[in-house]
A and B are shown apart, each in its own frame.
Chain A
């Protein structure tokens, strides 16, 4: 009897120490992508420690479920995912292997950042794999609309407050600041893009609907014939024809795709191939969520200006 009591009190002491340690240390947050990490960093400031599993220059659909990620998830108190099945090919087994009850789907430490976001391309009818690697839950690249950035920030703030009530005022204030800064930057970005409203472009993958929606860009074709299906000669010819017919001069390519086909199309149509990062960390200069839009919009505008000058 006494030994059992001794065990219990030892356990209780350990548990107490653990919680005490948790309370002192900064909250350990793991995100699946660098975009979410950047937004979380903006909201959480120095009260949280954030790390992303995928790199910004990596195709987020095809991340390897490395055991080193298991170690990171094992220690995480909060896991923030993009959701909408973006990580379906690699995250579920990592979570199962993490031995971490806090971040299992449905647990308090699991946050799907897409729940409040505006999601485009939600399929309504019957979907089949004949459509390629289609996302049944809508296009998962929703962070590329700064308005969604605000919604993600709000979600993260809610979650951080739930974990760390003591600092709720801090998170609320920082989140409000993020929204204010996004609003300000949005005015700037929109003003910069305003003269080019209705700009027609071609993109490699279907990564940009939210971006194009936010800044008035019109994607007339994709280099992939269907999501996840590599370019075929016939489709490439179709794209070239469509680009010539509509006088499209810009091809946007994510940094993780091969440039061979885009360059060939560029050569055939006189269009410029832009390597546009869809994520924070996609290129070195894009160090945070704000710089992502700064970079992409600057790249677009400077390219258009160059072509106009010619």
Chain B
């Protein structure tokens, strides 16, 4: 009895609570709905005044900013008119900070441009705050105009290749703008960045790469989604303009799907395996399976790539980079035939820190084993290259490469080639390279060729992965 009384009591209290809360919330809703129709109270009038005041201040800031820019322009005109009389520039730099600047610039007036410009003739007339960015800066690219702030970094890299000599097996044009690579790179949002590389060549325009990278997934994962170069070995991951040669080595051409290499649409996930001894990274990728190496006969015929990479600093200027890769997918011999390729790569780098811009050496080798199922028997082919590049002056590199490879479909045919290279960098944005290449084709034909290359880059091209 007592028990039931307690229960009914509780229910009564609950009901009372509900009945009270319902009208209360209804009132709230009514108040919210009705608010706009109500005449402005003293409170909202004050709000309005504050708002007007805020707008006025904002307008003044804008006016001041543009005033400063105008005076900057006037000063520049004065400079031009007064030829070699930069004095008028001096008083202007006391421009106010732009309203978006989160950090307050130093209160004292920046150095008059005369002093800066006095330092050397090439200095563009500069003045802190006069149109220059003052606030939080994006990491990539330049922000010289407000309209460009959210534009991605854009660059175009021209790759012009010429060839001289005789090659009956694989004849290349005498002159050819082999590729114009356009890159668009930017941060998408706080969680991702995107990179697009479009390649225009005499064959047409194609998406070389286009992927989104999520660098901050839980579990220390790095995920890429899109079309991209597969993480198989070293050369396959590189764009043609960062290769140390004009061409690609024979095993890439014969065993990994041609000049373009393994490049497909898919998903890539990689993880650092943290340990106290070395940098260790494991990558797993799944691709559509339709590219120059693989052929997808049904939707489930996917291709897979796995890679394990280890890296260790030996000294501050020397390091060793080792990797092993694997890929698997269906091939064009038929729906039931697959191709597997194993790869091992090793790189030794030497670059003394104090003379980093003058000296460096990169020695590299990659080995490829291809297991291609086909009629009548599986073809087991092997290919490899050994390469060295030495920088002997600030702008000069000398290199050599030896490469050889069986053909994936007919391992009894082995091509061999040797190359000598000389590269000159007029600046970081241009490169001129000559390569003497002697190829001994399996058909018994020898080709001696001189390849030369002009690479030129305009715009802001993002830094490359090591």
Contact = CB atoms under 8 A, between A and B. Distances in A.
B355 A256 contact: yes
B319 A66 contact: yes
B151 interface: no
A131 B124 contact: yes
A274 to B, nearest CB: 16
Contact of A101 (B126, B216, B311): B216
B272 interface: yes
Interface string A212-252: 11000011111000101110000000000000000000000
Classify the secondary structure of B's interface with A: loop
A97 B208 CA distance: 21
B144 A127 contact: yes
A209 B114 CA distance: 12
Contacts, number: 206
B354 A97 contact: no
B130 A124 contact: yes
A257 B216 CA distance: 38
A64 interface: yes
Interface string B351-367: 10111111000000000
Given A55-B353, A97-B215, A147-B106, A67 B281 contact: yes
Given A115-B102, A118-B110, A213-B115, A62 B124 contact: no
Interface string B173-209: 0000000000000010010010000000000000000
Interface stretch (B232-240, B290-298, B398-406, B457-465): B457-465
Interface in A129-158: 129, 131-134, 136-138, 147, 151, 155
A99 interface: yes
A12 interface: no
Contact of B356 (A62, A119, A151): A62
A93 B463 contact: yes
Interface string A181-219: 000000000000000000000000010010011000011
Contacts of B143: 136-137
A303 interface: no
B220 A99 contact: yes
B136 A229 contact: no
A66 B466 contact: yes
Contact of A120 (B116, B144, B427, B462): B116
A67 B215 contact: no
A74 B356 contact: no
B215 A124 contact: no
B122 interface: yes
Interface string A271-295: 0000000000000000000000000
A230 B394 contact: yes
A270 to B, nearest CB: 22
A124 B127 contact: yes
A112 B137 contact: yes
Given A89-B463, A95-B215, A137 B133 contact: yes
User: By CB atoms of chain A within 10 A, which of B119, B133, B354, B358 has the most?
Assistant: B119
A182 B319 CA distance: 39
A255 interface: yes
B193 A96 contact: yes
A104 B136 CA distance: 14
B132 A122 contact: yes
A66 B76 CA distance: 44
Given A123-B124, A229-B427, A129 B106 contact: no
Q: Which of A67, A97, A132, A209 has the most chain B CB atoms closer than 10 A to its own CB? A: A67
Contacts of A105: 138-139, 187
A121 B428 CA distance: 22
Contacts of B274: 71, 74
B324 interface: no
Contact of B136 (A55, A58, A112): A112
Contact of B139 (A92, A99, A100, A121): A92
Contact of A68 (B135, B140, B311, B355): B311
A59 B357 contact: yes
A16 interface: no
Interface size on B, as a range, is: 35 or more
A55 B316 contact: yes
A264 interface: no
B215 A121 contact: no
Contacts of A62: 356-357
Interface in A82-107: 83-85, 88-93, 95-101, 104-107
B60 interface: no
B427 A228 contact: yes
Given A218-B118, A218-B119, A104 B356 contact: no
A74 B220 contact: yes
Contact of B428 (A98, A133, A212): A133
B187 A74 contact: no
A48 interface: no
A65 B463 contact: yes
A36 B214 CA distance: 29
- The CB with the most chain B CB atoms within 10 A, among A114, A122, A126, A206, is that of A122
Given A120-B111, A230-B394, A70 B144 contact: no
B376 interface: no
Contacts of A230: 394-395
B26 interface: no
Nearest to B105: A116
A129 B423 CA distance: 21
A92 B140 contact: yes
A213 B464 CA distance: 35
A48 B105 CA distance: 27
B120 A206 contact: yes
Interface string B260-302: 0000000000011010000101000000000000000000000
B250 interface: no
B213 A96 contact: yes
Given A116-B104, A256-B353, 14 more contacts: A65-B463, A65-B466, A68-B319, A71-B272, A74-B220, A88-B463, A100-B216, A101-B215, A106-B136, A119-B132, A120-B110, A131-B122, A132-B122, A206-B120
Interface of A: 55, 57-59, 62-68, 70-71, 74, 83-85, 88-93, 95-101, 104-107, 112, 114-127, 129, 131-134, 136-138, 147, 151, 155, 206, 209, 212-213, 218-222, 226, 228-230, 255-258
